[in-house]
Structure 1
């Protein structure tokens, strides 16, 4: 249910065909033209297509329903399938139930992709890469002579794989994944909701933070937070929470004993967080990454090990330093202490992930950044914290039913934002939040309400002067009509469109 334009639906169809499903029906509310790339990928598989509609009879007659994570579990068609006795599941749930290797899961409202890819790159220095297609995608290449401290003999090192919301889904590569391997997964709240049903968690897990997000899908913030917690609630694996984030700190109070902490504000070692004692296993205080590592010899106490410095990380912003500390905290639970020397190597070679505070050129001597991934206010505020002067900010897009009060307050108090360009369905709500917070403010930034995304970009380009920063960080989804009759398919398409506009304007 829900073939979609991402690869999960396609891989689910291939999985069913590979394992001998006698009849496969693909049903999606979108039409053949919209789904053309996905349909092309499964054209060799005999399937029945039900496009532009769902029929309850199809679900009532099914034995197995694999649905898109974007479909809520209480959807009426899924309910009909369950009532008829069908197994209702998701591609990611099937994978975690069948995966023979150790799994490393990362989730969070913001920072999860950067944290996941950083953790993968740190492990890639000690393990063999499972997917050649990911080689150098986010980081500079590693010469074979530089790879050291493998956790197994170098002639047969374990492989590290990357999956979940990153790369091609791994459901059809299960026969290549060995028990000795490690699989790193970026996971969404939509996927994790189903893990409460199956009672599964990762062997190693981490939550970067939990702030209001996807409230157009989840019933409320409480359900959203609970969905995220499935990543560690089941089993005896090791889990890590952010001591600096209010919601994950609250979650820690009721978490099982296998949960530790990471922090930029607290030193590594024993600590008291709220009403509970805990252990910070990685700290980034003062720009120094320190990990608490267990001794290889029994009876010896854990030791504090300086691992890396802020200067090792090429990415801007304290939030990216927090992502690096989180990734190192997770990796420190997996590899030997002497392999942590690979952490600064990974930081120095990591270029960053597309659409995440991505430098995309200069206009009139001003630096331009594509932060299309910022679909909520917390992400935009994190991006803003990376700059301290001459900021031009493009905001707005589709709605998630998120409150913009705090965004408005922080923008009004910033003092170094030269202009704001608003567009999209959320433009009015964002403007209202900024206006409400700006009463009596000393530094008022000009607000430009624009009819289209392109108009906002063009207006911003023309206003830039040497030394300025243009930040496209919308605090809104990409699912809206950004110009008459035009919609972005996803945040990647929005980011690519923005970069194309930057490149075109730079040539004029």
Structure 2
């Protein structure tokens, strides 16, 4: 009898897992409590995989040998609790997919910066000519890709929700960039549970593997001694020079590895700010562990383009630069964004508040010229910053927010969308919010150009 695998959630990871499970001979059933998008539905139909949407039918799910759960589904959901009660193993797509690769896995986590570090690491390895795949919390499903192609290396962005579904998942190189309180509703509102989730990325490593951690991060530093590492620990630092690992100073990023020192100029980096130096340290150190030569790394760095919606420049008008940082959905991410610029900032902020502590952003008094609140309820933001910022405006329209930002700024200043909040009050997701920012900029640019043309006629 075929072993039965149930897939909960038919998004990118769930559909990929279903297709791989079918290809490996499992009896597969897909259940999504929401509506499955047409593209994924077509893939399931073509593969002759039965599915349901808009419900979870217990008798079709709780007879599983194993359940692959979408990371977006909380463990508190009723069907998940019933699966736990029946001792049915619940795993993540990456846990399942990792059993079908012969390649080495680079797994990257952290509250912030993991997408940039994942993309930069993938970029360096690909530019160096390595056989490398990209997956996890970014790009295409690893499981789905493995149906037709394996790679020598896999660079995977791993959220805490995905890590919670790891049992035997064993990365050759595992990176922990930072930890700041986020998604605590999924961790019983206990930061120690969230920290434990992040650190568990290293649990299956052995002495042939590597653990890279930014050890000057407060929560990492406070919890480092509580965790045992069977792998080789390499540190990322600014204040001290690690015996082995990476550090940064004004002259460059320095890698200490196997009693050798490798230096890469800061001028090579296209990503700016201290937090991006941490990301670059992690990516470059990982690349050296993958045996990539310094020249190849140095050649690849200036070619890297920042990921969409993360400190992404969408253009300039009259010297005023418009930056899309829609992916900054928590206070810590916004802190990094504000810290990345020395020029005056007109800051567009707001959305669905996740219990934000805005006192962490009192840096606004030094470099934020004006605040534009973009959300249905801006009370908390206005109240906190009313005595810290001389100009606070309010709108529920991205087009109006961008125009307002332009009017409030002048040459060499920045209009920064860095919301600190989720997007669901006005937008589908942070990508939609960022795309609307880009579109509003383009409309403003066209309007200014047309006005200039009419005046010259």
State the 1:332 CA deviation.
2.4
Measure, in 2, the Cα distance between the counterparts of 1:462 and 1:38. Answer: 44
Q: 2:267 aligns with which of 311, 314, 321?
A: 311
Match of 1:405 in 2: 359
TM-score computed with the length of structure 2 as normaliser: 0.88
Match of 1:38 in 2: 40
Deviations 1:124-159 (A, max 9, x none): 24343xxxxxxxxxxxxxxxxxxxxxxxxxxxxxx1
State the 1:176 CA deviation.
6.0
TM-score computed with the length of structure 1 as normaliser: 0.80
State the 1:70 CA deviation.
1.1
CA gap of 1:458–1:210, structure 2 versus 1, over 3 A, is: same
Deviates more, 1:105-114 or 1:459-468: 459-468
Contact 1:61 1:84 in 2 (8 A): no
Contact 1:123 1:331 in 2 (8 A): yes
Contact 1:267 1:285 in 2 (8 A): no
In structure 1, stretches of 5+ residues that fail to align are: 129-158, 270-279, 295-301
Match of 2:420 in 1: 475
Q: 1:222 aligns with which of 192, 196, 202?
A: 192
Match of 2:333 in 1: 379
Match of 1:191 in 2: 162
Which runs of structure 2 are paired with 1:117-266 in the superposition (5 Å)? 117-128=119-130, 159-174=131-146, 181-195=152-166, 198-219=167-188, 220-236=190-206, 237-257=209-229, 258-266=232-240
| Matched residues, number | 436
The alignment partner of 2:363 has SS state of helix
The alignment partner of 1:319 has SS state of helix
The alignment partner of 2:355 has SS state of coil
Deviations 1:455-480 (A, max 9, x none): 333322333322221000111122x2
* RMSD of aligned Cα (Å): 2.3
Q: 1:286 aligns with which of 246, 250, 258?
A: 250
The alignment partner of 1:71 has SS state of coil
In structure 2, stretches of 5+ residues that fail to align are: 1-6, 448-457
Measure, in 2, the Cα distance between the counterparts of 1:12 and 1:176. Answer: 13
Deviates more, 1:449-458 or 1:68-77: 449-458
State the 1:175 CA deviation.
6.3
The alignment partner of 1:103 has SS state of strand
Measure, in 2, the Cα distance between the counterparts of 1:398 and 1:192. Answer: 25
CA gap of 1:456–1:2, structure 2 versus 1, over 3 A, is: farther
Contact 1:11 1:171 in 2 (8 A): yes
CA gap of 1:399–1:50, structure 2 versus 1, over 3 A, is: farther
Measure, in 1, the Cα distance between the counterparts of 2:328 and 2:438. Answer: 15
CA gap of 1:404–1:216, structure 2 versus 1, over 3 A, is: farther
The alignment partner of 1:252 has SS state of helix
Measure, in 2, the Cα distance between the counterparts of 1:288 and 1:418. Answer: 31
Match of 1:328 in 2: 284
